[in-house]
């Protein structure tokens, strides 16, 4: 989170004392003695907040506030006011100031207001970065959200691997989004306009593999969880690769294939052929800085799916999410987002402790209940809204012990 504070005060002694208070609290103080000196620091992308005295010679706090809003309407400005300036400060608040503090102000109050302003600023900047990514024509930027060094490194790796014609191995922990990364590799390759065919490797026969290759000719075939591929099919894949396939093979694995090779449980030649071009997805715990922006994105998606307004997310919720380890990675964060949207914030923290199957079951149950609620308990209408056959819908209701009559108003 940004920690920069632009401190503006014409009194050098006050300015120095305030700067020392900020720096003792690990805030990065940038000082200026006037509006003229301050304005060069104020840009639309200023990664911080402004703390300014209200009364200054020449252009005062009102001029600073007006200039800041002209440059960036969402840039927080906190004003310091004397006893007689409170009516002016209230007027400034009505014109867009973030807050005002009466002098003399104790350090704890000052720091609490600045921390709140900094959290607000960080959310604004993250939302802008997310919007820029979502509007990007680059699939890696649009589909793989995050601004952490690890996320940037992942996108850079994909951009270097995708244009080659070599086979690719996408690895990562469970729930990290291996199929999505494989699709991005395909979209950014010269085969991006061709078919992207995906299939779990478990139970894949050599005959079905050949059929899939024909379906994906000129495009890419993604085989997920390679460790579960039957031995006969491993040989068939290797043989096709050695012959020079018209279809690019992208493999995915959430387990350590090198260990499987060492144990004699996976074909070594196939492993080394696929491992030439590896894309590793970092675990969510390795990129904690991306958790807030990912959670907001998943909340927006979940709200749209549930047909309700996107709820507001306060900074404290995001801070608590960042403190969790998320062994289920992006999948468990999606589950937490759905709970949050459906009004179960107290259940959000539990998502990090559940297995993937339990998380998906809870999300499915929540969606069924939400659909019944929107349809006033009418099971047939809810089934239609979820695009489920009625028998399947009723089977799911029975599995979760859900009674439609409980949701009739």
Which pLDDT score, from 0 to 100, does residue 373 have?
73
**φ and ψ at 231, to 5 degrees?**
-55, -45
Nearest partner of 120 among 72, 87, 86, 67, judged by Cα: 72
**Could you give the C-alpha distances from 22 to 50, 53, 105, 336, in angstroms and in order?**
12, 15, 13, 35
Query: Using one digit for the tens of pLDDT, what is the confidence trace for 231-260?
Result: 999 999 999 998 876 899 999 999 989 999
- Express the helix, strand and coil content of the chain in percent, nearest 5 each: 55, 10, 30
* Residue 285: predicted pLDDT: 84
309 beta partners: none
With beta carbons less than 8 A apart as the criterion, state whether 227 and 260 touch: yes
Q: What is the torsional sign of CA 230, 232, 238, 243?
A: negative
For 200-227, what is each residue's pLDDT tens digit? 999 999 999 999 999 999 999 999 999 9
d(Cα 35, Cα 9) in Å, to the nearest integer? 9
Q: Is the pLDDT of residue 4 over 70?
A: yes
Reference 5, options 103, 110, 89; nearest CA is 110
Q: CA-to-CA distance for 205 and 233, rounded, in angstroms?
A: 6
Percentage of residues in the chain having pLDDT higher than 90:
36
Q: How far is CA 142 from CA 104, 129, 178, 184, 187, in A?
A: 48, 11, 16, 10, 12
Q: Which residue has the tokens 């958790």?
A: 291
Pairing mode, if any, of strands 196-200 and 28-32?
A: unpaired
Distance (Å, whole) CA 310 – CA 296: 9
Mean pLDDT, the chain, rounded, equals: 86
Domains plus CATH for the chain? 4-131 (3.40.50.2300), 139-280 (3.40.50.300), 284-407 (no CATH)
pLDDT at residue number 214: 92
For the cut 60, the answer to whether the pLDDT of residue 350 exceeds it is no
Which residues lie below 8 Å from residue 336, measured CB to CB, with a gap of 6+? 295, 298, 321, 348, 349, 351, 352
Q: Please, which residues bridge with residue 169 across strands?
A: 251, 278
Residue located via tokens 């969880």: 225
Q: Is the pLDDT assigned to residue 358 strictly greater than 80?
A: no
pLDDT at 134 over 80: no
Is the pLDDT at 402 greater than 90? The verdict is: no
Token pair of 407, please?
Answer: 């949701």
> Looking at the predicted structure, is the pLDDT value of residue 346 above 80?
no
- Kindly report the backbone phi and psi dihedral angles of residue 313, in degrees, each rounded to the nearest multiple of 5, phi listed first: -115, 120
């Amino acid at each position: 989170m940004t920690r920069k504070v632009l401190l503006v005060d014409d009194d050098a002694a006050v300015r120095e004392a305030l700067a020392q208070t900020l720096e003792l609290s690990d805030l990065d103080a940038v000082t200026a003695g006037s509006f003229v000196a301050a304005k060069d620091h104020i840009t639309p992308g200023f990664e911080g907040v402004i703390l300014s005295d209200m009364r200054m010679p020449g252009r005062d706090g009102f001029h600073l506030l007006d200039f800041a809003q002209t440059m960036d309407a969402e840039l927080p400005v906190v004003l310091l006011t004397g006893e007689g300036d409170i009516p002016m400060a209230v007027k400034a608040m009505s014109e867009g100031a973030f807050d005002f503090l009466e002098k003399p102000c104790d350090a704890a109050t000052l720091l609490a207001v600045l921390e709140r302003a900094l959290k607000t600023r960080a959310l604004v900047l993250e939302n802008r970065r997310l919007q820029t990514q979502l509007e990007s024509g680059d699939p890696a930027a649009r589909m793989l959200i995050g601004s952490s060094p690890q996320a940037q490194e992942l996108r850079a790796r994909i951009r270097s691997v995708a244009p080659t014609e070599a086979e690719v191995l996408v690895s990562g922990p469970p729930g990290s989004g291996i199929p999505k990364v494989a699709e991005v590799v395909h979209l950014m390759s010269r085969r991006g306009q061709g078919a992207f065919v995906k299939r779990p490797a478990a139970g894949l026969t050599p005959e079905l593999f050949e059929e899939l290759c024909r379906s994906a000719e000129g495009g890419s075939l993604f085989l997920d969880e390679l460790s579960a591929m039957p031995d006969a099919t491993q040989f068939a894949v290797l043989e096709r690769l050695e012959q020079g396939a018209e279809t690019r093979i992208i493999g995915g694995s959430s387990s350590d294939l090198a260990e499987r090779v060492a144990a004699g449980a996976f074909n070594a030649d196939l492993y080394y052929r696929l491992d030439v071009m590896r894309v590793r997805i970092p675990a969510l715990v390795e990129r904690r800085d991306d958790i807030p922006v990912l959670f907001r994105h998943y909340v927006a998606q979940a709200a749209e799916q549930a047909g309700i307004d996107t709820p507001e997310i306060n900074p404290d919720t995001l801070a608590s999410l960042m403190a969790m380890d998320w062994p289920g990675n992006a999948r468990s964060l999606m589950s937490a987002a759905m709970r949050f949207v459906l009004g179960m914030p107290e259940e959000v923290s539990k998502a990090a402790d559940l297995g993937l199957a339990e998380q998906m079951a809870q999300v499915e149950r929540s969606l069924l209940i939400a659909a019944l609620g929107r349809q006033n308990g009418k099971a047939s209408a809810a089934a239609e809204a979820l695009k489920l056959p009625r028998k399947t819908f009723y089977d799911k209701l029975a599995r979760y012990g859900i009674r439609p009559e409980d949701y009739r108003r």
